[in-house]
Structure 1
Amino acid sequence: MNDTRADNSISTDVELFQLIMYTPTFTLGLLFNVMALSFLFFRVKKLSESTVYMIALIFLDTLLLFTLPFKIISYHLRDSWNLGSVFCSTLESLYFVNMYGSILISLCICVDRYIAIRHPFAAPTLRSTKKAAMICAVICLGTSAGTVSTFQLHGGGHISSCFHNFSKSTWENAGLFSALETTFFSSMAAMTFCTVQTVRCLRNRRKPDNPQTHTTRAETIVMTNLVAFLVCFTPYHIAYFVYFLVKNNIIHTSFQQVLRDIVQVTLCWANLNCCLDGVCYYFVLKESLEDPLQNSEKTAMRKL
Structure 2
Amino acid sequence: MKVSGINSTHPDNSSAQCKFNEDFKFILLPVSYALVFVIGLALNATALYVIVFRTKRWKPSTIYMFNLSMCDTLYILTLPFLIFYYADENDWPFSEPLCKLIRFLFYANLYGSILFLCCISLHRFIGICYPVRSLNWVTARRARLVSLAVWACVLLCQAPVLYFSRTRDVNTERICYDTTSPELFDDFLVYSSVVSVLMFALPFMVVMVCYGLMVRKLLESGGGSESGAEGETGGLTSQRSKQKSVKMIIIVLAAFMLCFLPFHLTRSLYYSFRYLKQVNPKQISCSLLEASSVAYKVTRPLASANSCVDPILYFLAGQDARSNLTKKSKLPSPKATSVNRCLTSRL
The residue correspondences of 1:274-289 to structure 2 (distance < 5 A) are 274-283=307-316, 284=318, 285-287=320-322, 289=324
Does the Cα contact within 8 Å between 1:116 and 1:123 map onto a contact in 2?
Answer: yes
How far did 1:156 drift?
A: 7.6
Deviations 1:176-196 (A, max 9, x none): 122222121111111111112
Residue 186 of structure 2 corresponds to 172
For these two proteins, the number of residue pairs brought into alignment is: 298
Deviations 1:34-53 (A, max 9, x none): 11111112222211111110
**C-alpha separation in 2, matches of 1:101 and 1:42:** 24
Q: Residue 284 of structure 2 aligns to which amino acid in structure 1? A: H
**C-alpha separation in 2, matches of 1:170 and 1:202:** 49
1:255 to 269, 288, 298: 288
**C-alpha separation in 1, matches of 2:133 and 2:299:** 40
Q: Residue 113 of structure 1 aligns to which amino acid in structure 2? A: R
Residue 130 of structure 1 corresponds to 141
Change (3 A) 1:299 1:276: farther
Deviations 1:191-243 (A, max 9, x none): 11111212222232449xxxx9xx83431232222222221110010011111
**C-alpha separation in 2, matches of 1:198 and 1:288:** 26
Residue 69 of structure 1 corresponds to 80
The residue correspondences of 1:18-29 to structure 2 (distance < 5 A) are 18-29=29-40
**C-alpha separation in 2, matches of 1:155 and 1:25:** 25
Residue 71 of structure 2 corresponds to 60
The two structures have a TM-score, normalised by structure 1, of 0.85
**C-alpha separation in 2, matches of 1:15 and 1:65:** 19
**Unmatched tracts of structure 2, length 5 or more:** 1-9, 224-238, 333-339
Residue 230 of structure 1 corresponds to 257
How far did 1:32 drift?
A: 0.7
**C-alpha separation in 2, matches of 1:300 and 1:24:** 40
The two structures have a TM-score, normalised by structure 2, of 0.75
**C-alpha separation in 2, matches of 1:36 and 1:155:** 34
How far did 1:300 drift?
A: 8.2
2:304 to 247, 259, 271: 271
Change (3 A) 1:3 1:232: farther
Does the Cα contact within 8 Å between 2:128 and 2:214 map onto a contact in 1?
Answer: yes
- When structure 1 is superposed on structure 2, of 84-93 and 279-288 the one drifting more is 279-288
Does the Cα contact within 8 Å between 1:154 and 1:166 map onto a contact in 2?
Answer: yes
Does the Cα contact within 8 Å between 2:99 and 2:167 map onto a contact in 1?
Answer: no
Residue 335 of structure 2 corresponds to none
Residue 202 of structure 1 corresponds to 218
Deviations 1:140-161 (A, max 9, x none): 1221124531122246887922
**C-alpha separation in 2, matches of 1:117 and 1:5:** 49
1:239 to 261, 266, 275: 266
Describe the SS at the equivalent of 2:178: coil
Deviations 1:50-108 (A, max 9, x none): 11100110000111111211112222334532211111111111111221111111111
1:189 is the counterpart of 2:205:
yes
Q: Residue 307 of structure 2 aligns to which amino acid in structure 1? A: C
Change (3 A) 1:216 1:51: closer
Q: Could you say which structure has the greater relative contact order, defined with CA pairs below 8 angstroms and 6 or more residues apart?
A: 1
Describe the SS at the equivalent of 1:161: strand
Q: Over aligned residues, Cα RMSD in angstroms?
A: 3.3
**C-alpha separation in 1, matches of 2:155 and 2:269:** 26
**Unmatched tracts of structure 1, length 5 or more:** none
Does the Cα contact within 8 Å between 2:96 and 2:166 map onto a contact in 1?
Answer: no
**C-alpha separation in 2, matches of 1:144 and 1:303:** 29
Does the Cα contact within 8 Å between 2:273 and 2:289 map onto a contact in 1?
Answer: yes
Q: Residue 286 of structure 1 aligns to which amino acid in structure 2? A: A
**C-alpha separation in 2, matches of 1:178 and 1:67:** 25
**C-alpha separation in 2, matches of 1:193 and 1:246:** 31
Does the Cα contact within 8 Å between 1:117 and 1:300 map onto a contact in 2?
Answer: no
Q: Residue 175 of structure 2 aligns to which amino acid in structure 1? A: S
Change (3 A) 1:73 1:66: same
**C-alpha separation in 2, matches of 1:16 and 1:302:** 47
**C-alpha separation in 1, matches of 2:167 and 2:82:** 20
Does the Cα contact within 8 Å between 2:39 and 2:308 map onto a contact in 1?
Answer: yes
How far did 1:269 drift?
A: 1.1
